[in-house]
Amino acid sequence: MSRRVVVTGLGLISPLGIGTDNNWAGLVEGRSGAGPITRYDPTGNSVQIAAEVEGFDPNAYLGPKEAKKFDLFVHYAVAAADMAVEQSGLTIDDSNSDRVGVVIGAGIGGLPLIARMHSALVDKGPRRVSPFFIPGAIINMCSGVVSIRHGAKGPNSATCTACSTSAHAIGDATLYIRHGYADAIIAGGSEAVISPLAIAGFASMRALSTRNDDPEHASRPWDKDRDGFVMGEGAGVVMLEELEHARKRGAPILGEILGFGMSGDAYHISAPAEDADGAIRVMRLALKDAQIDPDKVDYINAHGTSTPAGDRIETLAVKKVFGDHAKNLPVSSTKSMTGHLLGAAGGFEFGVSLLSVLNNIIPPTINLEEPDEENDLDYVPGEARETPVEIALTNSFGFGGTNACLVVGKPDLKK
């Protein structure tokens, strides 16, 4: 029997707030984190809205000298990892450092820093390119800095699978612990690319909502008037441990990772397959790994981006996988409140699923006023719902047809 993996710490950063408590309060309240872009002047652009993190001070975590070396996505990763490690209570020292790893990814990484350094090169010449440019922008530096900061000398890796990134990071970390490569791993993802180049790129694909006059209602998964996603930013990081390792030291066990699945669409660079094949298979693989029947799932935290095709196809996949149970299975999209955190989405939404299991509360899908005819599941519209949640499933689907699914259960589900 493989080693069981539990969660002992959680760190969340999103447009709803900094820290787990602030985020959970915003989700249960049904509050939107979207608004006009303030990072730069978007006047004249087709997209002028995003979901920005407010009030974050990187100096509080890294100090001014270190913070200057790295782009914002690294700052978020460090902060969220600090939160997860602190809650876990795990002391990392010479006695265990080689058994503690880090797997934190990003879907895009330091694009804003890349753009700034390119401008410096063009405008002022190569001498104005920072010596910290490369380490400050590369995706694996989230894991690198967190590893250095906490002295974690075990597996050190980074995933980069678009919007599935941090779900894959948590899944990979789970496999590493199951197979004995480590006893504890800090895992998740981070993203911060609200910038002129990134917004222009997604806008040119017509992936983003252009509801500039009403940003709080722009992210509206499954609604017939949805017109694309709202770009968000943030991080979701967990401390994972082998069950007996956590029990032995009296750690707070928040939940257990019951299952993990991965699949590929092999269909299109940005669109999901019309028959939902990849989404169907990834959920079935996660349920098989968890060794549970579909009707045991109490809640799905959906990928639910608010794109016309994506929402419809995820609904189809849920129907195919869950059959008659789909009619009674609550499915909600917290992206309706946070926007799309891209590479951080899977880690953040795994954290949301964990909190739903812990608190027996399902966050709502806000802005869902009139679903399409094909979107006919229970999307928990408008208000959070108190109901028993023993097992939750969360989906992450990325460009390139890369899919991940995680199943989390109550900490006492299996003795």
- State the catalytic residue, choosing from 163, 168, 245, 405: 163
Decide if 163 is catalytic. Answer: yes
Whether the CB-CB separation of 256 and 413 falls below 8 Å is answered with yes
On whether both 186 and 307 belong to a single domain, the answer is no
| 396 within a domain of the structure (yes/no) | yes
* pLDDT tens profile 324-359: 999 999 999 999 999 999 999 999 999 999 999 999
Cα 299 from Cα 91, distance rounded (Å): 34
Phi–psi pair at 111, nearest 5 degrees: -60, -40
Check 150, 168, 245, 303 and give the catalytic one. Answer: 303
Q: Supply the mean pLDDT for the chain.
A: 97
Q: Are residues 183 and 306 in the same domain?
A: no
Is the residue at 415 inside a domain?
no
Q: Looking at the structure, do residues 105 and 127 belong to the same domain, yes or no?
A: yes
Instruction: Say yes or no: 164 and 17 in one domain.
Output: yes
Among 221, 248, 275, the domain-final residue is 248
Residues 218, 298 within the same domain: no
pLDDT at 261 exceeding the cut of 80: yes
Q: Are residues 298 and 322 in the same domain?
A: yes
Residues 308 and 180 in one domain: no
Task: Answer whether residue 1 shows pLDDT above 90.
Answer: no
What's the number of domains the chain is made of?
2
Considering the domain architecture, whether residues 264 and 336 belong to the same structural domain is answered as yes
Single out the catalytic residue among 75, 150, 168, 340.
340
Q: Can you tell me whether residue 31 is helix, strand or coil?
A: coil
pLDDT value for 335: 98
142 is catalytic: no
Residues 203 and 122 in one domain: yes
User: Among 208, 226, 248, which residue terminates a domain?
Assistant: 248
Q: State both tokens at 248.
A: 């032995």
Residues 127 and 235 in one domain: yes
**Residue 255 included in any domain:** no
User: Are residues 111 and 241 both part of a single domain?
Assistant: yes
User: pLDDT (tens digit, 9 = 90+) per residue, 271-314?
Assistant: 999 999 999 999 999 999 999 999 999 999 999 999 999 999 99
| Same domain assignment for residues 226 and 353 | no
- 210-255 pLDDT per residue, tens: 999 999 999 999 999 999 999 999 999 999 999 999 999 999 999 9
In a domain, 17, yes or no: yes
Report the DSSP pairing between strands 361-362 and 385-386: antiparallel
Is 179 catalytic? The answer is: no
Q: Residue 327 is part of a domain; what is its CATH number?
A: 3.40.47.10
Q: Does residue 253 form part of some domain?
A: no
Q: Could you tell me if residue 254 is inside a domain?
A: no
Domain hosting residue 209, numbered range: 5-248
Q: How many CB atoms lie within 10 A of CB 16?
A: 26
Does a structural domain hold residue 414?
Answer: no
